[in-house]
């Protein structure tokens, strides 16, 4: 039996996909956030930029047609949990890492959406349940039910042609509520200055409302600039789990143990 490792996941597509581009954006903003978290906590603009990453991950989680609990997600979640636990050495493990919230979301999203899309009233009710659970859930796992709201929006965006009881206007309204809940929570949690808090809300609104028009498409990359950046985009767009876990543990190692030279 032949065993190989396809670094750039060309089994997905040999062209650049919209997912590659969106995941690359999320990776870049996430790394900027972690640079701020580990090395420059006094520069709140780095943390502000990082607030744009999580909504994209959760949106794409809901947008995916496959909600299976893949083994690779379990494996990398365990590696991150074990690695951070070892380096924290008794400092406490809560909140649990975002990958565990991804697993919970995948396990519950289809059932939740089957109930909540029967009417806008039900959908609005689920929003308020998530809002009430926001603080206790975020104490348990990163982003908690705030992240779940964006997964719900992604789920409805992918399937809006089949939603009989939720209109495009209502979907937009739900996303606006998710933006406000997430944006004001992040503003309060990070203590952003007023100008940065307002900027965060504006950036979230521009980004998240645009996500409602996201579609899975490809861009031929046989010539020009796209041919040059093709494989870097394959790496950042298709090895996101590996990049997330490894860079996070590396940054933590540098902070805990210092530079190795």
Task: Give tens-digit pLDDT for 64-95.
Answer: 988 888 898 999 999 999 999 888 765 567 78
* 134, 138, 140, 144: CA torsion to nearest 10: 70
What pLDDT was estimated at residue 2?
43
Task: Give domain status of residue 230, yes or no.
Answer: no
For residue 167, which of 221, 102, 228, 212 has the smallest C-alpha distance?
Answer: 212
Q: What is the extent of the structural domain holding 249?
A: 55-171+240-257
Report the number of distinct structural domains present in the chain.
1
Q: Are 94 and 139 in contact (CB under 8 A)?
A: yes
Q: How many CB atoms are located within 10 Å of the residue 121 CB?
A: 10
Task: Give domain status of residue 46, yes or no.
Answer: no
Task: Give domain status of residue 30, yes or no.
Answer: no
Cis peptide leading into 192, omega within 30 of 0?
no
Integer Cα distance of 146 and 54 in angstroms: 10
What pLDDT was estimated at residue 63?
96
Q: Which value, in Å, is the radius of gyration of the alpha carbons in the chain?
A: 19
DSSP E strand boundaries for the chain? 16-17, 218-219
Task: Give domain status of residue 165, yes or no.
Answer: yes
Task: Give domain status of residue 250, yes or no.
Answer: yes
For residue 10, which of 220, 239, 233, 234 has the smallest C-alpha distance?
Answer: 234
Whose tokens are 């947008």? That residue is 63
pTM flag (> 0.85)? yes
Task: Give domain status of residue 218, yes or no.
Answer: no
Helix, strand or coil, per DSSP, at residue 205:
helix
List the helix and strand counts (H, then E) for the chain: 12, 2
Half-sphere exposure of 136 (CA within 13 A, CB side): 4
Whose tokens are 């406000």? That residue is 180
Contacts of 87 by beta carbon, 8 Å cutoff, 6+ apart: 249, 252, 253, 256, 257
Integer Cα distance of 144 and 33 in angstroms: 18
What pLDDT was estimated at residue 5?
61
Q: Which residues pair with 96 in a beta bridge?
A: 141
Task: Give domain status of residue 222, yes or no.
Answer: no
What pLDDT was estimated at residue 259?
65
Burial of 50 (0-12, 13-18, 19+ CB in 10 A): buried
Q: Are 18 and 214 in contact (CB under 8 A)?
A: yes
Residues lower than pLDDT 70 in the chain: 1-5, 89-92, 259-261
Q: Could you tell me if residue 173 is left (phi over 0), alpha (psi between -120 and 50 degrees) or otherwise beta? A: alpha
Burial of 190 (0-12, 13-18, 19+ CB in 10 A): middle
Task: Give domain status of residue 91, yes or no.
Answer: yes
What pLDDT was estimated at residue 91?
58
Integer Cα distance of 226 and 20 in angstroms: 12
């Amino acid at each position: 039996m032949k065993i190989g490792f396809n670094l750039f996941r060309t089994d997905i597509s040999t062209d650049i996909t919209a997912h590659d581009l969106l995941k690359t954006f999320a990776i870049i903003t996430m790394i900027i956030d972690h640079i701020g978290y580990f090395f420059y906590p006094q520069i709140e603009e780095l943390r502000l930029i990082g607030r744009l990453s999580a909504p994209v991950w959760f949106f794409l989680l809901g947008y995916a047609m496959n909600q299976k609990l893949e083994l690779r997600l379990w494996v990398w979640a365990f590696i991150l949990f074990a690695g951070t636990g070892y380096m924290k050495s008794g400092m406490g493990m809560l909140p649990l890492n975002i990958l565990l919230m991804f697993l919970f979301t995948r396990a519950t999203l289809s059932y939740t959406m089957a109930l909540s899309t029967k009417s806008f009233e039900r959908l609005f009710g689920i929003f308020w349940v998530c809002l009430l659970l926001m603080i206790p859930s975020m104490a348990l796992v990163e982003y908690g039910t705030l992240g779940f709201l964006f997964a719900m929006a992604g789920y409805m965006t992918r399937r809006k042609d089949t939603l009989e009881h939720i209109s495009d206007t209502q979907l937009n309204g739900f996303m606006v509520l998710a933006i406000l809940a997430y944006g004001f929570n992040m503003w309060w949690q990070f203590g952003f200055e007023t100008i940065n808090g307002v900027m965060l809300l504006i950036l979230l609104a521009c980004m998240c409302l645009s996500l409602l028009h996201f579609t899975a498409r490809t861009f031929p990359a046989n010539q020009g600039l796209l041919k040059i950046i093709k494989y870097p985009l394959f790496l950042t767009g298709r090895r996101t789990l590996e990049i997330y876990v490894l860079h996070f543990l590396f940054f933590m190692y540098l902070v805990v143990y210092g530079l190795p030279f």
